[in-house]
Amino acid sequence: MTSFPDAARVTLGDAQLRRNLGNATSTIRDKRARVVAEVPDWEQLRNAGRAIKSDVMHRLDEYLIQFESAVQEAGGHVHWACDAAEANAVVLDVARAHGATEVVKVKSLTTDEIELNDALEAGGVRAIETDFAELILQLDGDWSSHILVPAIHRNRTEIRDLFLRTIAAPPLSDNPSALAEVARVYLREKFLTAKVGVSGANFAVAETGTVVVVESEGNGRMCTTLPPVLVTVVGIEKLVPTFTDLEVFLQLLPRSSTGERMNPYTSLWTGVTDGDGPQEFHVVLLDNGRTRVLSDEVGRQALHCIRCSACLNVCPVYSRTGGHAYGSVYPGPIGAILTPQLLGVENAKTLPYASTLCGACYEVCPVKIDIPAVLLHLRAEVVKAAGGTPERAVMRMVARAFGGAGRYGIAQRLARLLQGPARRLPGPVATWTQTRKLKPLPKETFRQWWSRERGA
């Protein structure tokens, strides 16, 4: 994976991209703050969300078995997948069994995580993304930069030009409703002809086997009701114990994510119903690193995430770098703690440092994931995995200097001696003085002043 600072440079150097991002994140941020302030028991809801998810993590084995039985009882098929390859194979097999060359898809991070579209393509099946923003990215060969608004880095003129190159004939204005109409006409035919629909899930209820998809455009409702066959890929952390637990999350999620009181479409289905909706239903329960995350007592709270993206919108780092810098389908603060755990810290070692620890993410998280605490925990893991680096040597030296007032006083005097006239910091810390003026060291330290004044 490209290091975060290197990957961040792309967006930092693109003024248009930064404007698109800055405008979009601040709009959603303000909207969220308004609708959250309306809810008098918001804190209690957050506490409940955290408590329910924490219970799920402690008894995940039981809930998964319970969910499997409930789905089977309701006429659905359940598949267990250890990794991306196993999950993708299940979806491909189902599509092939029905002779499908195209499947219609609901926007789903989990299927992005396992790169399902590529796997299907390799097997001769084309996946059509039906979420407006996902469609934009798919047509352009681009990838998502935001959990909720994948094309947040694109503006409408760029989208108009893209549609003209791909699925629309001129003339076409960049008016949002004209752009939406192009997508609507293109997608309607896909919805009506696809034999297989593919979705992820926002929640899966252990007690009843019910699967929930929350969305805004109605494309999800189309994908999960029109094709005769439906395959749903569910990360094992998406379970909630009972149907009534949904009450908490269906309040937390829309207000936190889109800043709406309620989302436009909430689809719930349980197995197969005669004469209504898909007559064949498959659930793929996906691990893909999640049980490893679960084994980490501090880090496992990352699995509580309900993918609302509130942490992205308030993050001062994300709003400057955009999502691509995080090198995974999970960008922003949640990505910075989830990706290193899913892939192993040695494979994403700059991500835990992609934060100032300002804590804005923790403040808005609807399930109270203490992201700064997990970042610190992962930084310690990175240091442990890295072994003897030059940084470690310096840190040890500094710790030694801090270990006694005598040594510390010598270090202070040495710093003043070494302070160059140009006041540029040396070596790896030189980057600081490239854009900031460094304050000169004062004539005397506090302790020198104290001993002169107070004679101690």
Binding site for other proteins (CB under 8 A): 4-5, 8-9, 12, 18, 316-317, 320-321, 350, 352-360, 362-363, 376, 379-383, 391-392, 395-396, 398-399, 401-405, 408, 412, 415, 428-429, 431-432, 434-439, 441-442, 444-447, 449-451, 454, 456
> Measured from the CB atom, is 99 or 426 closer to other proteins?
426
* CA pair distance 130, 365, nearest whole angstrom: 28
CA triple 181-197-286, angle to 5 deg: 125
> Measured from the CB atom, is 35 or 358 closer to other proteins?
358
The phi and psi torsions of 399 (rounded to 5 degrees) equal -60, -35
Comparing CA positions, the residue from 271, 261, 265, 182 lying closest to residue 230 is 271
> Measured from the CB atom, is 105 or 349 closer to other proteins?
349
> Measured from the CB atom, is 246 or 382 closer to other proteins?
382
To the nearest 5 percent, what fractions of the chain are helix, strand and coil?
55, 10, 30
CB of 248 to other proteins, least distance (A): 24
> Measured from the CB atom, is 209 or 352 closer to other proteins?
352
CB of 249 to other proteins, least distance (A): 25
> Measured from the CB atom, is 83 or 444 closer to other proteins?
444
Task: Order the strands of the 126-129 sheet from edge to edge.
Answer: 77-81, 280-286, 229-235, 196-199, 102-105, 126-129
CB of 452 to other proteins, least distance (A): 11
Check: CB of residue 287 under 8 Å from CB of residue 61: no
Strand (E) or helix (H) holding 323: none
> Measured from the CB atom, is 101 or 356 closer to other proteins?
356
> Measured from the CB atom, is 139 or 401 closer to other proteins?
401
CB of 25 to other proteins, least distance (A): 11
Q: In this structure, which amino acid lies at residue 250?
A: L
> Measured from the CB atom, is 143 or 408 closer to other proteins?
408
Check: CB of residue 432 under 8 Å from CB of residue 425: yes
User: CB atoms < 10 A from the CB of 387, how many?
Assistant: 7
* Contacting residues for 80 by C-beta, under 8 A, at least 6 apart: 86, 284, 285, 287
Comparing CA positions, the residue from 338, 316, 255 lying closest to residue 25 is 316
* CA pair distance 117, 136, nearest whole angstrom: 15
304: left (phi over 0), alpha (psi -120 to 50) or beta: alpha
Instruction: List the beta bridge partners of residue 268.
Output: 212
CB of 158 to other proteins, least distance (A): 22
CB of 333 to other proteins, least distance (A): 12
CB of 402 to other proteins, least distance (A): 4
CB of 327 to other proteins, least distance (A): 14
Q: How does DSSP assign 371-398, residue by residue?
A: HHHHHHHHHHHHHHHH-S-HHHHHHHHH
SS3 123: coil
CB of 300 to other proteins, least distance (A): 19
> Measured from the CB atom, is 46 or 105 closer to other proteins?
46
Buried b (16+ CB within 10 A) or exposed e, 393-425: eeeeeeeebeeeeeeeeeebeeeeeeeeeeeee
DSSP 317: T
CB of 429 to other proteins, least distance (A): 5
CB of 357 to other proteins, least distance (A): 6
SS3 199: strand
CB of 313 to other proteins, least distance (A): 12
> Measured from the CB atom, is 192 or 395 closer to other proteins?
395
> Measured from the CB atom, is 5 or 264 closer to other proteins?
5
Instruction: List the beta bridge partners of residue 246.
Output: none
CA distances from residue 255 to 27, 249, 260 in whole angstroms, order as listed? 14, 10, 5
